[in-house]
């Protein structure tokens, strides 16, 4: 608390022109007022070029980032992640011809692959969605080194939040919890009845049982379809306007970024708006580390309407805060962990957690097998009442 107060005093000293305004505001509104001030201050200074960003990293390399984290000045890390962090878990891309998953979906004659996520199509033809859900169902896959690296950031009190574009819930499997996560495209974690009048919520366990019994999940109360909360209309032309505004103005999106000390962007090509525009929401002194197979986010145009001058700059003469580490997300995270002295700890965490998942899977399979043999036993001798 006192640390927060001293930070605030420091910020006010840095911006004396705003001090008299904050005197007028009531105590109650202080926290959110500060957040808004932070945001507006960084927005104006970036847009008008009032204050150039401060150079925080001593070197624009992974070593520079590691030294910054170890300096203790970096306390609020945000991770922004995309499909690239889950490829090493074996999660197939249903949009790539030639994969088993794509071939599997061919038999449903989808008008186009993205139709599978659209609610209007789903209401008429729920089967392909659930076929995909069976293939992608969380628990079929293990989180990657990269997922566990984020878990380590959380355990060490450094993770402000993870913004994920993925629907595979591997962040949750790795140990991130509700408040650690913004699942920008939705999640399998909760399901709802699709009827607007009902909207009954269902658990992940309930949905899992339905999905694997190959039943089409129907609401207990009203008989309508039940669907995991995966956002509609996200894969074409970015997001719908209401969804975009809701996401960009949400409390956490609004307050996380101005306070961020380090933004780590992993496994995303920053193509889908409004997600991509979030990289421009951090202060102009905040270092941004990209771990990806190729450089991305450099074009101002590509960053879209909400950018306000936040395109990534790794290589120009003016580059001062953006670092690109070109590798797989797992290799990049492991390299960073090594520089931080966390390598062994990370390796052990991955080993331990994977073993735990394997043993849970084995128990589940045993249970299913014994249930199956019991039920076939019961079928075979219905009149048999021994036991």
Q: Which residues are catalytic?
A: 185
Binding residue positions for NAD(+): 83-87, 93-95, 165-168, 268-269, 292-294, 329
Residues 6+ apart with CB under 8 A from 188: 133, 136, 137, 138, 167, 168, 169, 204, 207, 228, 230
Nearest distance, CB of residue 191 and Zn ion, angstroms: 11
Quick one: tokens of 346?
């990370």
Distances in whole angstroms, Cα of residue 259 to Cα of each of 79, 254, 286: 13, 10, 9
Phi, psi dihedral angles at 368 (to 5 degrees): -60, -45
Q: Which is nearer to Zn ion, 190 or 221 (CB)?
A: 221
Q: Which is nearer to Zn ion, 145 or 193 (CB)?
A: 193
Backbone phi, psi, residue 227, to 5°: -140, 140
C-alpha span between 243 and 239 (Å, rounded): 6
We find the least distance from the C-beta atom of residue 230 to Zn ion, in angstroms, to be 18
CB of 243 to Zn ion, least distance (A): 23
At 167, list the tokens. 């629907």
Q: Which residues fall in the annotated binding site for Zn(2+)?
A: 193, 198, 219, 222
Query: In the complex with Zn ion, which residue's Cβ is closer, 9 or 221?
Result: 221
Which residue pairs, CB below 8 angstroms and at least 24 apart, start in 153-159?
153/77, 153/79, 154/180, 157/75, 158/69, 158/74, 158/75, 158/76, 158/77, 159/77, 159/78, 159/79
For 100, other C-beta atoms within 10 Å of its C-beta total 10
Q: Compute the Cα dihedral for 121, 127, 235, 166 and give only its sign.
A: positive
User: What would the two tokens of residue 371 be?
Assistant: 């249930």
**Angle ∠(171,176,181) on CA atoms, nearest 5:** 80
Compute the least distance from the CB of residue 75 to Zn ion, in Å.
44
Smallest CA-to-CA distance from 114 within 94, 136, 97 is with 94
Q: Residue 217 Cβ, how far from Zn ion at the closest point, in Å?
A: 11
Which ranges in 182-263 belong to alpha helices (H)?
204-212, 241-248, 251-256
Comparison of 200 and 343: residue with beta carbon closer to Zn ion = 200
Q: Which residues bind Zn ion (CB under 5 A)?
A: 193, 195, 198, 200, 219, 221-222, 224
Helix or strand (DSSP H, E) at 350? helix 343-380
Count CB-CB contacts under 10 A for residue 254: 16
Q: Based on CB atoms, which residue is closest to Zn ion, 167 or 193?
A: 193
Q: Which is nearer to Zn ion, 21 or 221 (CB)?
A: 221
């Amino acid at each position: 608390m006192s640390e927060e107060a001293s930070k605030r005093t420091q910020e006010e000293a840095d911006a004396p022109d705003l001090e008299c305004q904050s005197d007028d505001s009531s105590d109650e509104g202080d926290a959110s007022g500060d957040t808004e001030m932070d945001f507006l201050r960084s927005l104006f200074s970036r847009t008008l070029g009032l204050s150039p960003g401060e150079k925080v990293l001593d070197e624009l390399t992974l070593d520079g980032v590691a030294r910054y984290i170890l300096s203790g000045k970096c306390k609020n890390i945000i991770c922004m992640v995309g499909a690239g962090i889950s490829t090493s878990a074996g999660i197939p891309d249903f949009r790539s011809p030639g994969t088993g998953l794509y071939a599997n979906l061919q038999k449903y004659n989808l008008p186009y692959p993205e139709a599978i996520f659209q609610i209007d199509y789903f209401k008429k033809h729920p089967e392909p969605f659930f076929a995909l859900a069976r293939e992608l169902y969380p628990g079929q896959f293990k989180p990657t080194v990269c997922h566990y690296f984020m878990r380590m950031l959380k355990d060490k009190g450094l993770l402000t939040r993870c913004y994920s574009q993925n629907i595979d819930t591997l962040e949750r499997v790795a140990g991130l919890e509700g408040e650690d996560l913004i699942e920008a495209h939705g999640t399998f974690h909760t399901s709802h009845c699709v009827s607007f009048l009902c909207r009954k919520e269902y658990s992940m366990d309930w949905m899992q049982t339905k999905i694997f019994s190959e039943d089409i999940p129907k609401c207990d109360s009203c008989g309508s379809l039940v669907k995991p909360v995966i956002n509609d209309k996200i894969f074409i032309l970015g997001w719908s306007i209401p969804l975009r505004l809701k996401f960009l103005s949400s409390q956490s999106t609004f307050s996380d970024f101005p306070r961020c000390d380090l933004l780590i962007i992993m496994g995303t090509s920053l193509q889908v708006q409004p997600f991509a525009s979030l990289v421009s929401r951090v202060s102009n002194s905040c270092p941004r580390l990209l771990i990806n197979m190729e450089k991305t986010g450099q074009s101002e145009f590509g960053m879209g309407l909400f950018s306000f001058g936040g395109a990534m700059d790794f290589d120009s003469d003016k580059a001062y805060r953006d670092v690109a580490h070109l590798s797989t997300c797992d290799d990049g995270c492991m390299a960073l962990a090594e520089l931080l002295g966390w390598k062994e700890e990370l390796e052990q965490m991955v080993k331990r957690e994977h073993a735990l998942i394997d043993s849970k899977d084995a128990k589940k399979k045993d249970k299913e097998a014994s249930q199956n043999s019991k039920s076939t036993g019961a079928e075979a001798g219905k009149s048999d009442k021994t036991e």
